[in-house]
Amino acid sequence: MTQKLNRKLPAAVTAALNEVSEKLTHRPELRRMFLQCYPNTLETTVEMLDDDTTFVITGDIPAMWLRDSSAQLRPFVQLAKEDEELRSIISGVVRRQVAYILLDPYANAFNKEANGNGHKDETHSHPTVWERKYEIDSLCYPIQLAYLYWKATADSSVFDSAFRDAAYEIIRVWKIEQRHAEESDYSFIRKNPYVSFDTIPAGGKGRPVNDTGMTWSGFRPSDDACTFNYLIPSNMFAVVVLGYLEEIAKVIYSDERLAELSMTLGTEIKDAIELYGVVHHPEFGKIYAYETDGFGNHLLMDDANVPSLLSASYLGYVSSDHPVYRNTRKFLLSKGNPSYYEGEYAKGIGSPHTPEGYVWPIALVMQGLTSTDDEEIKRLVHMLETTTANTGFMHEGFHVDDPSQFTRPWFAWANTLFGEWIYSLVREGHPAVTE
C-alpha cells in the first residue's frame, strides 16, 4: 500500500484540493477519490535531495522511470508559477533526468545512487541503472516536462548547459536508431524472462526493419518488447518534442545547429509516420498502425500506456478532428483492437502487459481527455468512480467483470492523471462532475 511521506503539500496543491473539495460535496465518492489521487505522487513518491534534484519513484517499485516521473508531475506544472516549492520539485526532477540521460540514454529506469539494484540483464549497464530497456518515450518525456514547465512559469533555469548536452545526446541516439541494424550497438537480453515480451529477440537486436526515417524502439511504454520496432505513438511523441527542442534552441540557447538538427529530424520522422504508418482498414478507413517494420507489416492495436495512439491529440501530434486520428480512435475503441475489452462494469483499452479482460484507468482517463463528447465523458467518470474496489485509488488494470481483481494497488501515475482530469473538469464546470 501507499506510504505517505512526512512533508506538507505545496500551498498551491492544497488550494487546488480545497477548491475541488468544495465543488464536489454533492459527489462524495468522486470527492474522496480526487482528494486521495491528485496529491498521491507528492505525498508518496517525491524525495527532494541535497543536490537540489528530485527523485521520484513510480509507487510500488523503488526506482525512477524517466517516463513515469515526468507524467506524475505534469499535472502540477499548471500550479507552479506562484508556488516556489513546486518549482523546486519540478525543476529538480528535470535536472536529475538530464543527469540520467547523460549517464545512459538507453536506460529507462534508475536508482537514486550507484547501488547496483535492479535487473541483471545482458546489456551494457551501470550500477545506477535499474533497467536498460530502450524506449523512445523515455527520452521524450523529460523534454516535454521541461518545456511545459518553462511555458507555465517563464522559468528558463532548467535549460542549463547539461540540458543542452542531453538534447544533443537524444538527437544523436535517435539518428543512430534510424539505422538500427547498421549503426546501433544496443542490444538487450533478459535471462530466463518470465514472459516472451520481456526480452528482445534475434540475439537482443530485434527483428529486421527497413530504413524509413522513423527511429527504432526496443520497447513500448509498457516496458514490453515491440513486435515491429517502429513504434508509431512514440515516434509521434518524438516529433512533438523535437518541435519543442527547436524552439528552446532558438529562444534560450540561440543555437542554430541544435534548432536545425531538431527541425530536420522531426520532419524526417513525421514524413515517415505518414508514409509507412498509415494503413487502410476495411471498416474504419485510413488509420494509424501501432507498429510497423517498414517492410509492409503492421500491428493494428493500441496499448493503455502513454504515448499511445489514443493519446496522439493529447500529446499534440494531431488535432482531435484530424480525419486519420478520428478513424483511428473509432478503431481503438472497438473490438477490432485486440487490447479493447467490454464487460459488466467497464469497457476500454487494456494492455498485453496485464491479463486478458483487464482495462487500465490510464487509458480510460486518456479516452476522456481526448473526447469531445460530453456523454462519453460522463460515462467514463462514472465508470472510474465505481470500479476502484472501494479503495478510492486508481490501479494499473482491473477486470471488466470484477473490479475487485486488479493489478498494482499503488500506481502513482494513474492516480495523478485521474486527478489532473477531474481538476480540469471541475474548473470548466463540466456536467460530468457538476450534475
Q: What tens digit of pLDDT does each residue of 315-328 get?
A: 999 999 999 999 99
Place 275 in a pLDDT band, splitting at 50, 70 and 90: very high
Q: Whole-angstrom Cα distance, residue 73 to residue 41?
A: 7
Domains and their CATH numbers in the chain: 135-434 (1.50.10.10)
Place 7 in a pLDDT band, splitting at 50, 70 and 90: low
Q: Whole-angstrom Cα distance, residue 281 to residue 178?
A: 27
Q: How many CB atoms lie within 10 A of CB 157?
A: 13
Query: CB under 8 Å to 22, separation ≥6 — which residues?
Result: none
Q: Whole-angstrom Cα distance, residue 388 to residue 433?
A: 17
Place 59 in a pLDDT band, splitting at 50, 70 and 90: confident
Task: Answer whether residue 215 shows pLDDT above 50.
Answer: yes
Q: What angle do CA 332, 337, 341 make, to 5 degrees?
A: 95
Q: What tens digit of pLDDT does each residue of 286-316 get?
A: 999 999 999 999 999 999 999 999 999 999 9
Please report the pLDDT score of residue 69 as a whole number: 96
Q: Whole-angstrom Cα distance, residue 209 to residue 269?
A: 15
The CA-to-CA distance between both ends of the chain, in Å, stands at: 32
Closest CA to 286 of 243, 241, 318: 318
| CA torsion angle 187 67 8 96 (round to 10) | 60
> What is the mean pLDDT of the segment spanning 409-432?
94
Whose cell is 524526417? That residue is 268
> What is the mean pLDDT of the segment spanning 11-33?
97
What DSSP designation does 224 have?
Answer: P
Task: Answer whether residue 2 shows pLDDT above 50.
Answer: no
> What is the mean pLDDT of the segment spanning 98-122?
97
Place 401 in a pLDDT band, splitting at 50, 70 and 90: very high
Q: What tens digit of pLDDT does each residue of 141-155 get?
A: 999 999 999 999 999
> 398 by DSSP, 3-state: which?
strand
Q: What tens digit of pLDDT does each residue of 341-389 get?
A: 999 999 999 999 999 999 999 999 999 999 999 999 999 999 999 999 9
Task: Answer whether residue 400 shows pLDDT above 80.
Answer: yes
CA distance to 134, 173, 175, 246, 267, per residue, from 180 (Å):
12, 10, 9, 24, 19
Convert 298-326 to b/e letters by CB count within 10 Å (16 or more is b): bbbbbbbbbbbbbbbbebbbbeeeeebbb
Q: Whole-angstrom Cα distance, residue 121 to residue 129?
A: 11
* Cβ proximity of 265 and 240 under 8 Å: no
Q: Whole-angstrom Cα distance, residue 219 to residue 206?
A: 10
Please report the pLDDT score of residue 81 as a whole number: 96
Q: Is the peptide bond before 307 cis (omega within 30 degrees of 0)?
A: yes
> What is the mean pLDDT of the segment spanning 77-94?
97
Task: Answer whether residue 1 shows pLDDT above 50.
Answer: no
Please report the pLDDT score of residue 6 as a whole number: 47
Q: Whole-angstrom Cα distance, residue 186 to residue 302?
A: 26
Place 109 in a pLDDT band, splitting at 50, 70 and 90: very high
How big, in percent rounded to 5, are the helix, strand and coil portions of the chain? 45, 10, 40
Please report the pLDDT score of residue 5 as a whole number: 52
Q: Give the max Cα distance, the chain.
A: 61
What are the beta bridge partners of residue 129?
Answer: 110
Q: Whole-angstrom Cα distance, residue 66 to residue 43?
A: 19
CA distance to 38, 136, 147, 215, 418, per residue, from 392 (Å):
11, 33, 32, 40, 11
110: cell is 534508475
Q: Whole-number mean pLDDT of the chain? A: 96
In this structure, of 191-195, 229-233, 244-248, 360-364, the range with the lowest mean pLDDT score is 191-195
